[in-house]
């Protein structure tokens, strides 16, 4: 995934992100993102960890389901 992240980071290098007009919430940690550049960085990073570490696609174990 590192190659994909690197390629995407190169592709958006000239993008001038604007701050959002509405509240964006990240699936990274549930926080609000008010800065356009930070939102773009999070999107690029999400390529290598699309679920924020909470699903089977993540190297981290999934939390146990309640019985």
The CA-to-CA distance between both ends of the chain, in Å, stands at 34
pTM over the 0.75 mark: no
Residue 8 placed within a domain: yes
Query: CA 10, CA 26: separation in Å to the nearest integer?
Result: 22
Q: How is residue 55 written in tokens? A: 């699903």
pLDDT computed for residue 54 by the predictor: 58
Q: How many separate domains does the chain show?
A: 1
pLDDT computed for residue 51 by the predictor: 65
- From first to last of its 67 residues, the chain has per-residue pLDDT tens of 788 889 999 999 999 999 999 999 988 888 999 999 999 999 898 888 766 555 555 555 555 656 5
User: In this structure, how many other beta carbons lie within 10 angstroms of the beta carbon of residue 16?
Assistant: 8
pLDDT computed for residue 31 by the predictor: 93
Q: Are the C-beta atoms of 39 and 17 separated by less than 8 Å?
A: yes
The boundaries of the domain holding residue 8 are 2-46
Residue 17 placed within a domain: yes
């Amino acid at each position: 995934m590192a190659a994909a992240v690197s390629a995407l980071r190169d592709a958006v290098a000239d993008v001038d992100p604007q701050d959002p007009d509405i509240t964006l919430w990240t699936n990274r940690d549930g926080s609000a993102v008010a800065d356009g550049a930070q939102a773009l960085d999070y999107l690029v990073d999400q390529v290598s960890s699309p679920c924020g570490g909470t699903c089977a696609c993540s190297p981290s174990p999934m939390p146990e389901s309640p019985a």
